Amino acid sequence: MKLRIIYIILLATQIAQCQRIKDIVDIQGIRGNPLTGIGLVVGLAGTGDTTLPAQQMLANILKDAGEVFSPTDFSGGNVALVAVTGELGPFARAGSELTVTVSSMGDAKSLQGGRLLPTLLKGLDGGGLLDGDVYAIAQGGVSIAGWTAAGNKASITKNHQAAGLATAIVEREEIASFVEYIADQRFIKLNLRNIDFSTAEAISQTINQIYPNSATAIDAGTISVRVPDVITQRGIAGFIDTITRPQINVDMPAIVVVNERTGTIVVGENVCISSVAISQGSLTIKIRERDEVSQPTTPFTEGATTEVTQATDIVVSEQEGYLIPVPRMVTVAELANTLNAIGATPTDLIAIFHALKKSGALQAKLEIM
């Protein structure tokens, strides 16, 4: 079954060659910023922490409220010490909401039914340390999208109970800066998610057809686009929409990815196999090219000519085979089609691809996961 899924993926890559520029690039400077904080979830029905740190934090919170308690004054498991993490979006405004993740840090069994006390979420500096500025405040109910039911002798649980989601309110904006100013000129850089010189050049040429002499492929992963002087500051958003909406042909590298643990094989559309005959166990695969003469069905038909065409035969048998020299390259799609027809296993294919690479017949990069 896995082998047939592999072939479907291969055909899909051959059909969906055109992609919008906006779907294959990121605009440099537009990114989120991680936020983190330590908080306390209360209101748990005996499923919280039994360790001292949670009780100590509860005592500290009450001390800030004017009440003095010792951590040992609290017992039971109605509170849980949690880590609260999230991401401040590149265009998040003050007052907007963020979804944050609440994760238990102690021995709490479940956060079901708990409420997160107000928790300050701080950003990180370039060194990965907290920068001390509060960007959002998280509080409210914790949703774990599951439940736990227990009796005296048994229990049943749906989904992970020690982590959930909560809501935070943005208090400070960190608006992304994506326009670069160089010598009184404005530039926007597009970063390819999958680096490739051909694709980068295709993007550059496509943009130059819209705004001549504005785009340059700096390398395999970056395209620099100069914003024309006629584009005002208010027109930047429309300019980006215009240059990222066109479709281009994405050039895929010739690569075969093999996961031997799961038996999964993914083959790129540009992978080809050179002249070869393969024998795997009792399985023999022979690839042969032959010339055919195409002749009109009715002799002496006006305008009809006799032509010589090329055809490729791929034969798979369960008996011993022999090597046949082949003067051209065969696509993996042709080979996979035949292998699927006889029900070859993923294990057979993995062994075949290893041997093809070793012999130099596989004209692609072979990656083992």
pLDDT recorded at residue 325: 43
This prediction has a pTM of: 0.68
Residue 260 vs residue 237, higher pLDDT: 237
251-274 confidence digits (pLDDT tens): 888 888 888 777 777 877 777 777
Q: Are strands 283-294 and 277-280 parallel, antiparallel or unpaired?
A: antiparallel
| pLDDT over 60 (residue 63) | yes
Edge to edge, what strands does the sheet with 272-273 contain?
Answer: 330-331, 272-273, 362-363
Q: How far apart are CA 6 and CA 2, in angstroms?
A: 6
Split at pLDDT 50, 70, 90, the class of 300 is low
pLDDT recorded at residue 228: 94
Give the least confident one: 107-121, 168-182, 249-263, 287-301: 287-301
Greatest mean pLDDT among 73-82, 163-172, 357-366 lies in 163-172
Q: How far apart are CA 190 and CA 9, in angstroms?
A: 28
Domain boundaries, the chain: 18-29+178-249, 33-170, 255-298+306-368
Q: What is the mean pLDDT of the chain?
A: 78
Fold of 18-29+178-249: Aspartate Aminotransferase, domain 1 (3.90.1150)
- Mean pLDDT, residues 306-311: 62
311-355 confidence digits (pLDDT tens): 655 555 554 444 434 445 566 666 666 566 555 677 777 777 787
